[in-house]
Amino acid sequence: MKASASVVAASVLLAVMATTSCSAATGVQFMKVLPQPGSGQTEAIILRNVGSEPVDLTGWSIVDKSKRAMNSFWFGGDSATMAPQPVKWCSNWTSIEPDQEFTLRPFNRDRFSASFDPCGFRFSLGFDGQLELRNADKQPVDIVSWTKAKDGMAIYRMGSKFIPFMEDSDMKSSIKAAPVLSIFAKALHSTNILDKYLKEGASIKIDKDSWMAKHLARKGYEKTYYKGPWTVFAPSNEAFLEFMKEMGWMGMTLTEDELLAMPELEDILLYHIVMGQEWSSGIKNATGVLSMKDGAEVAVFHGKNGEFLVHDDCVDRPSPDNYGCEMQAEWKKCNEDWVQDDGLFSGRTLGYCERSCNRCTCEGDQCGRASVYDIPASNGVLHVIDKVLYPAPVYEKPAAQWRSKAEMEAEMNGGSAGNLKGFLNGQQ
């Protein structure tokens, strides 16, 4: 991206943020629009059924209201004149299940093209635009609009508004350009984390005996330097304002200057940065990912209604053996007294292996919720969350527990019956 960060930030702030009060009745909403694709991208419109029942989109339409000549896309098929006309293979793509996303791309009838799509929309989205989703009765259901779109700028739903995020850039530029992440960006800049970790091409040295070296070795990598990718859980401005209120003294709210002067700020920010590229769909429920704050775990959960949640006080106190919590859970040891020791030896109220044994919950405000997630960057992926996380405690694991599951199973298969009995009882 050639434009300076300040120019980009100024331009994306001009994007129109549309409210969507009429979409709740049907459950189908616009989730994302990519009007001006960057390198390697194509225009896209993404819908999602946030309701509890399937919706048949036959007869529904998306109308481009920004052009003088009204352009329409009809679910189930349309003609070259943008009138409804059933198309056999397009009629198979009209039902949208609860929590399912539906991605529309430009019409392309070239069967030999990688972008072949005979069921796509026939109009161009462009620099400025306004799309209206209409039901079979031609009543408006949802609307999204934007202005001054830059190449690679996607419009994401965030609650009842639509917020611009840059996708065709590195993590540093994407965070700096996002209007809802301005406090996070200032904090990252003040601690030099933006340039040290999140700038394209930046690399960090990996010490031989560090948790990073052990973590990468467990995945089969031997590296001296790490250049990404990264996963960033980015607290929104509202999340930081709430955090500044909580951290204030005698009912006072911290100012931004006081926030930036906090001695623990760098540790807090590093806890929001994870090695690797963790997409919401690719990470299992109750998974612990290791942050750049000394490898402290961030626990990731999926809610009943598809929510993407993060927990900052759900960590595995390593089991006292050579095999670790993942294996103890697989061996169904979670309900044994030595695991659920109420903190007697583990030092944790929920005992050993609380995350792996699914003893944590996201009730109340215990977890942060991803308001927008899976925002791609050239060197990672960004998830916007509604809570500032505080670093979880770090518990040192025995060297043997850094082995891969395959290595542990290989040892078990070659071990003696006596040894097997011992580690199944958590005694080795």
> Which pLDDT belongs to residue 415?
55
Model confidence pLDDT, tens digit, residues 35-60: 999 888 999 999 999 888 999 999 99
The set of long-range contacts for 406-412, using a CB threshold of 8 Å and a minimum separation of 24, is 408/322, 408/323, 408/327
Tokens of 394: 């770090």
Cα of first residue to Cα of last residue in the chain, in angstroms, is: 54
Distance, CA of 373 to CA of 11 (rounded, Å): 22
Distance, CA of 30 to CA of 73 (rounded, Å): 14
Show the DSSP H helices in 105-210 as ranges: 171-177, 182-190, 193
Residue among 71, 147, 155 at smallest CA distance from 107: 71
Distance, CA of 112 to CA of 408 (rounded, Å): 48
Distance, CA of 417 to CA of 428 (rounded, Å): 13
23 within 8 A of 142, measured Cβ to Cβ = yes
Tokens of 308: 């993407």
Tokens of 420: 């097997």
Tokens of 210: 């560090």
Q: What is the pTM of this model?
A: 0.86
Secondary structure of residue 135 in the 3-state scheme: coil
> Which pLDDT belongs to residue 329?
94
> Which pLDDT belongs to residue 26?
59
Is the peptide bond between 106 and the residue preceding it cis, with omega within 30 degrees of 0?
A: no
**Position 86, amino acid:** P
Strand 61-64 versus strand 71-74 pairing type: antiparallel
Residue among 161, 126, 158, 159 at smallest CA distance from 143: 161
Low-confidence ranges of the chain (pLDDT < 70): 1-26, 69-70, 80-83, 86, 88-89, 415-428
> Which pLDDT belongs to residue 80?
67
> Which pLDDT belongs to residue 67?
79
> Which pLDDT belongs to residue 220?
78
Q: What is the DSSP string of 31-84?
A: EEEEEE--TT---EEEEEE-SSS-EE-TT-EEEETTSSS-EEEETT-B-TTS-B
Residue among 173, 191, 386 at smallest CA distance from 270: 191
Distance, CA of 93 to CA of 75 (rounded, Å): 8
Phi, psi for 381 (deg, rounded to 5): -140, 145
> Which pLDDT belongs to residue 133?
96
Domains and CATH numbers, the chain: 5-166 (2.60.40.1260), 171-314+360-397 (2.30.180.10)
**Position 408, amino acid:** M
Beta bridge partners of residue 206, listed in sequence order = none
Q: How far from chain centre, in Å, is Cα 284? A: 13
Distance, CA of 84 to CA of 59 (rounded, Å): 8
168 within 8 A of 151, measured Cβ to Cβ = yes
Alpha carbons within 13 A on the beta-carbon side of 270 = 15
Helix pair 237-247, 182-190: axis angle to 10 deg: 70
**Nearest-5° Cα angle at 253, 249 to 257:** 105
Residue among 290, 177, 269 at smallest CA distance from 226: 290
